[in-house]
Structure 1
Amino acid sequence: MGAVEVLAWIDAATREVTLFAAAGFLIGGVDDLLIDLVWLVRRLVHGSDAPVLDELTSPAVPHRFAILVPAWDESAVIGAMLRATLARLDHPDFCILVGCYPNDSATIGEVAAVAAQDSRVTLVVGDRPGPTTKADCLNTLWRALGRSGAPVDAIVLHDAEDVVHPAELRLFDALIDTHAAVQIPVLPLPRPESPLVAGHYIDEFAEAHGKSLVVRTALKAGLPFAGVGCAIRRDALAAITTDHGAPFDAGSLVEDYELGLRLAAAGHAAHFARVREHAGGAVISVREYFPSTIGAAVRQKARWMTGIALAGWDRLGWGRMRDLGDHWMRVRDRRATLAVIVLAAGYAALLGWAVSATGHALTHSPLPNPGAPLATILTINLALLLWRAAWRIGFTAHNYGWREARWAPLRMIAGNLIALLAARRAAIRYAALLAGRAPQWDKTAHAFPASLGGTGR
């Protein structure tokens, strides 16, 4: 086969891959555009989506909250997190239960030291060695709460690395009577040493918790929890508790995501609350550091992809037949694996065109014409990409300022590469689950701020 024939084969293959990727990007871009339009309409009709805390009606008698913190191999952060939480929370009636494993003496020691100083903290050590799953650890805490007989109105979920907002429980106090569950935004803390890897979480959460979950709430679709910063009425959680006394599914990799949808299916819909601490102030949210290395980010994204886009389809199925908004949101949740295939095809097309251009330059032959239909789709996709980048920059700037927002376009590429790497790991993990392998807590190492001065309270 001569050089001309090889080049013709490359041109044909590249065009087909480009057409596949372009069609996939177009579908995804239109889907995202519809979310943008719903958000804009809602914003025009209702104005700002972030009322002020003092505008909400607080109960005459504050509710009692139990904060559940599952902890496996968290000795590096759990002590600081507990002390900061106890010092920061502006609420008169709460307790903290921390779940540990008998083979994790370092974490047990840190929790016990704080519990010895403050009676609001209770150390709960499970019977089985770890790690099991986060959901299994939460079930241990739920059972311990039941055995204690404590008159708790609602539970609050947090992780060992969370920086809680002082007004968080006051916000839950005002909303938990009218909503079975309340989720507040999660805003990752910047990590100057990792502007791309840790930084891409900043952009994604700023947009997801500033727009996507707002739209989801407006459509009355099932609201998945973020796993932290969510309060659930005790009666609602008890309503989905199994005969084994377990409201959390120990076989799930993403118990937070599934819990929100299960509660919604049982008639206990959650509410996403964007509320400002005061006029002109910051949104009441959970702050935390996210992974700063590619390996850690890939492991975390793979767990999310496995649990939501792959196993979640098997475990949860679809919602009520006529609930079109919920169906739409579940499709969006599960499109991640297909989106990665389309993304890989897009990068392959770029490489193919580069090889093609080089080949035609060397053979002094003209580049092939992609054709009017493909050229039109590519033009539309370029416009949608610029539109998407503008939204990403805008939400990041709104939450973090322009210094962080300037990184957003480059971090979109970093996020794509992490997603590609995570997809391979997710496929392997999902295949292992199908083969009968028990799920296990695949956590990453965590960090806690040495100083809370830069966390926006």
Structure 2
Amino acid sequence: MGSDLWSVGQWLALVEYELLLFAGVFFLIGAADEFAVDLIYFYKRWRGELRTLRLSTRDLPHRQLSGLAVVMIPAWREDKVIGHTIAHALSAWPHEDLRIYVGCYANDSATLEAAMRAANGDPRLRIVVNTKHGPTSKADCLNRIYEAMTQDEQRTGRQVRMVLLHDAEDMVDPAALPLLDRAIERAEFVQLPVLPVPQPDSRWIGSHYCEEFAEAHGKGMVVRAALATGLPAAGVGCAFERGMLSEMERQRSKSGPFAERSLTEDYELGLRVALAGGRSRFLRVRDEAGVLVATRAYFPSDIASAVQQKSRWVHGIALQGWDRLGWSRGLGEWWMRLRDRRGPFAALVLFSGYLLLVLGTLSFLLRQFGLGVAWKPDALLLWLLGLNVASFVWRGAMRYAFTAREYGRTEGLRAVMRIPVANVVAIMAGRRALFAYLRTLRGAAPTWDKTEHDAHPARAFGDNSPQSGRKLGEVVK
């Protein structure tokens, strides 16, 4: 009996050592990757090349547009939020040259009714009913909207100048439309930042998106733009020049520019703009009070919905993206594609790290009863551990800094404490995405694996508009 237990202890020590080596090496590689982005960001900031624009945005919502602007919103079972989105957008953007196209389905009467009620007779709203029963796919819904827009162009003889993409749960910024109208003059694709709204009822799950987008859209996308690599579209708060969408449709040789078999058609479309020679721009603008002009929305507030949403991102970007977009020749582009596709492997490394934590605890407990095998790490392993600890502290500081800049110091501290939560969600999403991808390899068609939304940020803000000059974390408590 004692011999068997001693053998178990030896095997446990061996597995612990190997996991420590595996996780330590790849954690360090990931940290080096992030640190390289940090260095570029701070170097460019020091050179004065990454200044966030400061504009007087008070009169922007009433400035005449340079041409017809279309907002496309695909909606399937969004009756709880679509009305708030439409009403707020029509109010925030009073421009005569605005058209909002909402794609619905005949077998989703609740969403249809909510959209019509929200319009309140405003002729700028167009409701497009898909001839297929839903859900199809988000890209299919967008292509149906695109078809209706093209028919309206032919019927009225007036060409659309730019097309914006938004989701059914978004709260648009009043300054966003005129800013995009101006920016599209010098680019074929423009992306504004996305700011998730903190959720008092979901501090750990729903609010962990805050720090992820604060860092991704405060640093990651900024560095991509500085390196002149292709910019992925977030699917919300982004605008495409009308001619570029026609070019995307021509390249597909099908009706509509959106890839219907892609789970992340927005991400793919943004990168294809660069591949087609188009100019892309990530636009960060603050108003007089220092508030970022951005799209705001609630994100999933429970673990199942968060995993579902993130698994779709991992599946579409990391796994489908490899198949559909391949690898670019440029070093900067290759690096960014590699960063986009690291999700499944990052989930494996994170899982190894947490498994190591469990095994290390078990090994410690066995040694307390004289059953385990004590071992000491060599000098190389100690250096590896030390560098990983230092990199973790640095990453925590970056997460705090970028989150606090947009949400306040309290939310910045919460962001650091939520790191384990984000890691667990990433592990579960990576596993779910891998199995979903394997099913598609066996012939299964990708489905619109959408998340449910039952709350809209417009309710939370009330009189505290985003332009109030207060941090989001201070407004939403």
TM-score band, normalised by shorter chain: over 0.9
Residues 181 and 270, structure 1, Cα contact 8 Å, conserved in 2: yes
Hey, what does 1:274 align to over in structure 2?
284
Residues 65 and 181, structure 2, Cα contact 8 Å, conserved in 1: no
1:133 pairs with 2:137: yes
Q: Say if 1:115 and 1:276 are closer, same or farther in 2 by CA, change over 3 A.
A: same
Q: Out of 290, 294, 305, which is 1:296 matched to?
A: 305
1:123 pairs with 2:127: yes
Q: Say if 1:80 and 1:240 are closer, same or farther in 2 by CA, change over 3 A.
A: same
Equivalent-residue separation in structure 1 for 2:120 and 2:230 (angstroms): 40
Q: Secondary structure at the match of 2:164?
A: strand
Q: Secondary structure at the match of 2:186?
A: coil
Q: CA deviation at 1:46?
A: 1.6
Equivalent-residue separation in structure 2 for 1:218 and 1:225 (angstroms): 16
1:50 pairs with 2:52: yes
Q: Secondary structure at the match of 1:68?
A: strand
Which runs of no fewer than 5 residues in structure 2 stay unpaired?
468-477
Residues 9 and 371, structure 2, Cα contact 8 Å, conserved in 1: no
Equivalent-residue separation in structure 2 for 1:410 and 1:160 (angstroms): 30
Residues 132 and 439, structure 1, Cα contact 8 Å, conserved in 2: no
Hey, what does 2:317 align to over in structure 1?
308
Q: Say if 1:27 and 1:74 are closer, same or farther in 2 by CA, change over 3 A.
A: same
Residues 115 and 122, structure 1, Cα contact 8 Å, conserved in 2: no
Matched residue type, 1:265? L
Q: Out of 214, 219, 226, which is 1:218 matched to?
A: 226
Counterparts of residues 240-389 of structure 1 (less than 5 Å): 240-241=248-249, 242-278=252-288, 280-319=289-328, 321=329, 323-363=330-370, 367-389=374-396
Q: Say if 1:404 and 1:433 are closer, same or farther in 2 by CA, change over 3 A.
A: same
1:393 pairs with 2:400: yes
Residues 69 and 98, structure 1, Cα contact 8 Å, conserved in 2: yes
1:195 pairs with 2:199: no
Counterparts of residues 233-244 of structure 1 (less than 5 Å): 233-241=241-249, 242-244=252-254
Hey, what does 2:450 align to over in structure 1?
443
Q: Secondary structure at the match of 1:222?
A: coil
Equivalent-residue separation in structure 2 for 1:455 and 1:396 (angstroms): 19
Equivalent-residue separation in structure 2 for 1:200 and 1:416 (angstroms): 10
Aligned-residue Cα RMSD (Å) equals: 1.7
Matched residue type, 2:77? D
Q: Deviations over 1:304-337 (max 9, x none)?
A: 0111111111111012x2x111100000000111
Q: Deviations over 1:83-131 (max 9, x none)?
A: 1111112544211000001111111111223345100001100110000
Hey, what does 1:25 align to over in structure 2?
27
Q: Say if 1:25 and 1:397 are closer, same or farther in 2 by CA, change over 3 A.
A: same
1:63 pairs with 2:67: yes
Q: CA deviation at 1:5?
A: 2.3
Equivalent-residue separation in structure 2 for 1:312 and 1:61 (angstroms): 35
TM-score by length of 2: 0.92
Q: CA deviation at 1:452?
A: 3.1
Matched residue type, 2:194? V
Q: Secondary structure at the match of 1:267?
A: coil
Hey, what does 1:5 align to over in structure 2?
7
Hey, what does 1:99 align to over in structure 2?
103
Q: CA deviation at 1:433?
A: 1.1
Matched residue type, 2:285? V
Residues 364 and 372, structure 2, Cα contact 8 Å, conserved in 1: no
Matched residue type, 2:309? Q
How many residues are matched? 452
Equivalent-residue separation in structure 2 for 1:26 and 1:266 (angstroms): 36
Equivalent-residue separation in structure 2 for 1:49 and 1:105 (angstroms): 47
Which runs of no fewer than 5 residues in structure 1 stay unpaired?
none
Q: Say if 1:337 and 1:366 are closer, same or farther in 2 by CA, change over 3 A.
A: closer
Equivalent-residue separation in structure 1 for 2:96 and 2:127 (angstroms): 21
Residues 67 and 97, structure 1, Cα contact 8 Å, conserved in 2: yes
Hey, what does 2:160 align to over in structure 1?
152
Q: Secondary structure at the match of 2:355?
A: helix
Hey, what does 1:432 align to over in structure 2?
439
Hey, what does 1:207 align to over in structure 2?
215
Residues 223 and 269, structure 1, Cα contact 8 Å, conserved in 2: no
Q: CA deviation at 1:367?
A: 2.8
Residues 90 and 169, structure 1, Cα contact 8 Å, conserved in 2: no
Hey, what does 2:471 align to over in structure 1?
none
Kindly, what percent of the aligned residue pairs are identical?
43
Q: Say if 1:155 and 1:7 are closer, same or farther in 2 by CA, change over 3 A.
A: same
